[in-house]
């Protein structure tokens, strides 16, 4: 059984909070989040292949990738604003299909002991409407599927 994903999006706020526990040590979870060859194996729904153009996890680094399936392609990009290895990653997130709608998100990594860890993500959107559009896009299902894939990477 996989650990549940908790998504909180309080009405009237431009925030989304996501929490997910992993049955793996903190260093393994952080590596899977920060090393491009591992990220490509889990981030996003299974039906898409991830093509990473750039993934430079360091303060001031940038990233860009696309999820592709047949003729479908969805591009994303951003900048890593603050990276504290093993503790947190703060980055922007922008969907190429909606340029100018940029969110700021911080992923915080916590050691729960007994080879378990937690990732907590706080995302801030430019408006409540932009946040609502993200919630309505099916992001929770995509994140759940991606985290299940991450469980597989971590157990390999």
Tell me the per-residue pLDDT of 126-151, one tens digit each, with 9 for 90 and over.
999 999 988 888 888 889 999 999 99
- Decide if pLDDT at 1 tops 70: no
Structure token pair of residue 8: 């909180």
The answer to whether 91 touches 80, Cβ cutoff 8 Å, is yes
| Averaged pLDDT of the chain | 95
pLDDT tens digits, 4-29: 999 999 999 999 999 999 999 999 99
User: Burial of 134 by CB count in 10 Å (0-12 exposed, 13-18 middle, 19+ buried)?
Assistant: buried
Residue spans of beta strands (DSSP E) within the chain: 5-8, 15-22, 49-55, 62-69, 72-84, 88-95, 102-113, 116-124
Residue, of 2 and 78, whose pLDDT is higher: 78
pLDDT tens digits, 47-93: 999 999 999 999 999 999 999 999 999 999 999 999 999 999 999 99
Beta-bridge mates of residue 55: 63
Beta-bridge mates of residue 52: 65
Predicted local confidence at residue 38, as pLDDT: 98
Domains and CATH numbers, the chain: 5-155 (3.30.530.20)
pTM (2 decimals)?
A: 0.94
């Amino acid at each position: 059984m996989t650990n549940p994903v908790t998504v909180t999006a309080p009405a009237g706020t431009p925030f989304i909070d996501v929490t997910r526990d992993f049955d793996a040590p903190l260093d393994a979870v952080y590596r899977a989040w920060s090393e491009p060859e591992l990220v490509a194996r889990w981030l996003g729904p299974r039906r898409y292949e991830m093509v990473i153009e750039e993934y430079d996890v360091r303060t001031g680094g940038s990233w860009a990738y696309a999820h592709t399936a047949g003729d479908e392609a969805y591009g994303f990009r951003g900048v890593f604003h603050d990276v504290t290895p093993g503790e947190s990653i703060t980055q922007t997130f922008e969907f190429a299909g909606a340029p100018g709608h940029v969110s700021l998100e911080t992923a915080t990594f916590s050691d729960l002991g007994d080879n378990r860890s937690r990732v907590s993500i706080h995302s801030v959107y430019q408006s409540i409407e932009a946040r609502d559009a993200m919630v309505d896009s099916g992001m929770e299902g995509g994140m759940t599927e991606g985290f299940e894939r991450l469980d597989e990477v971590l157990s390999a």
